[in-house]
Structure 1
């Protein structure tokens, strides 16, 4: 940091964000654009939480998640009790999984294995530590997912928000940061959607996911840590098995085409 680190950067005024965009992702995009364009320079302090909430028209949760995502990307540094500051460009690094890197279902399966290792424990911690506000967010996210599925939607945004809520409920700020590392690959069906089944089959699949979510959130609501871990492990293992089966079908189709 240089001598300017205590001063809020001048000349930034964000317009309110409008749904149905992913508010956290959109706020990250806008702030990152300010940094990369040089309007926010190394050492500049970001506007305060209250200022960002007012300017962007979002909640404190969205602001905190956006700052955590920027920190995970190496764009900002945070100082306890002081605020978030733009990082030196020489120290920045892109640590999110780039969807362009995910060229095969094998890559997707490897990410799911990574998620099983971490999200299983996250669910258990969420059950043990969630406060009323965190639990309300988890249940609201689950209800939003259910409604989207019944409306025939892909429910990608709602699915992501449920996992965000569970990570936040751990009370450990590093869990949400890891979620940002996974980026879009947290919900792989949005990247492999052209290879999935017809809409009717997709809806049936999402209803199974809804039931799996219900077991996870029910255990979290009851404060049953081991049951939450088991439910999350079964949910992600089922996802892994579904994509493994899909990979097998595609491989068989390609082999048949080669011998046609």
Structure 2
């Protein structure tokens, strides 16, 4: 595709650029500006037109594919589905503005990702381990750069779901995209730098524990590490809920923590 596609001019420059790109493409598909069967611009063309990273573009396209709005053809690229699914389940950033909503999503993630970590430990291959390690390294770099790291966090968890070699796990998280990682809702920018780094380091150690268990091929330890990470995330947000005095679901029980 030559030149800058005019519809990319309206991309929302939100903190979650993936969401802005998804919303824009969905709007154009629904309106018919991107017609059924029409080929989408290449990843590089979208990167050039929007200024977002290739990771953001790939995440947005994966989300649209998971929703049934686009299909990919080997060697040809992505195309608008001839029969796009009219109604799909999704979570968008606007639905995660309250702490109770974030807690609901963390419960959903726990029900899926804990078992996925165990499957990843049992089924992962060398390529899977490399992808998880790279994602973990990117997250470490984000912390060092004092960045929120939500996109890198998402990539880490997605790499684990991919390592299950069950495509439905990756499709599950692709429907949501990085909006499923509510890290930016903590308002890290308002924290003193030392407190922010300490907060992110604690989360990173939890990630490292999950990776170590998967690397060792220990399904039980992977399950425990994933549950501990998501439970601690839940407890962090539950503490914020108490500070804000908002109403939320009942806390996880000791039995639920595993």
> What residue is the counterpart of 2:158 in the other structure?
164
C-alpha deviation, 1:118, in angstroms? 0.5
Asked if 1:200 is matched to 2:194, the reply is yes
SS in structure 1 opposite 2:141?
Answer: helix
Contact 1:108 1:185 in 2 (8 A): no
In structure 2, do the counterparts of structure 1 residues 171 and 46 end up closer, same or farther at CA, with 3 Å as the change threshold?
farther
User: Who is 1:100 aligned against?
Assistant: 94
Tell me the equivalent position of 2:117: 123
- Greater shift, 158-167 or 193-202, is seen at 193-202
CA contact (8 A) 1:28 1:66 kept: yes
Residue 158 of structure 1 deviates from its aligned partner by 1.5
Q: Which residue of 2 aligns with 1:177?
A: 171
Name the CA shift for 1:89/1:125 in 2 (closer, same or farther; >3 Å).
same
Alignment of 1:1-260 (within 5 A): 12=1, 32=26, 35-36=29-30, 38-42=32-36, 44=37, 46=39, 52=42, 66-76=60-70, 86-87=80-81, 91-193=85-187, 197-251=191-245
**2 CA distance for matches of 1:82 and 1:52?**
9
Task: Kindly state the Cα deviation for residue 175 of structure 1 after the two structures are TM-superposed.
Answer: 1.2
Residue deviations 1:66-86, cap 9 Å, x none?
Answer: 554213333135799998653
Structure 1 residues 90, 140: closer, same or farther in 2, change over 3 A? closer
With normalisation by structure 2, the TM-score equals 0.73
Task: Determine helix, strand or coil for the equivalent of 2:245.
Answer: helix
Moved more, 97-106 or 219-228: 97-106
CA contact (8 A) 1:96 1:183 kept: no
Q: Work out whether residues 45 and 83 of structure 1, in 8 Å CA contact, stay in contact via their aligned partners in 2.
A: no
The alignment covers a number of residue pairs equal to: 234
Q: What 5-or-longer segments of structure 2 have no aligned partner?
A: 5-14, 49-53, 247-258
Instruction: Give the whole-Å Cα distance in 2 for the aligned partners of 1:226 and 1:86.
Output: 41
RMSD of Structure 2 on Structure 1 (CA): 3.8
Match of 2:256 in 1: none
Taking structure 1 as the reference length, what is the TM-score of the superposition?
0.72
| CA drift at 1:120 | 0.5
Instruction: Measure the CA separation in 2 of the matches of 1:251 and 1:61.
Output: 37
Which whole-Å CA distance do the structure 1 matches of 2:105 and 2:191 have between them? 21
CA distance in 1, matches of 2:220, 2:108: 19
Name the larger-Rg structure.
Answer: 1
Over residues 71-110 of structure 1, what are the superposed CA-to-partner deviations in whole Å (9 max), with x where a residue is unaligned? Answer: 3333135799998653457742252212222342111111
The answer to whether the 8 A contact 1:122-1:166 is kept is yes
Measured against aligned partners, the alpha-carbon deviations of 1:110-168 in whole angstroms (never above 9, x if no partner) come to 11111111111111111111221121110011111112213322222211111121112
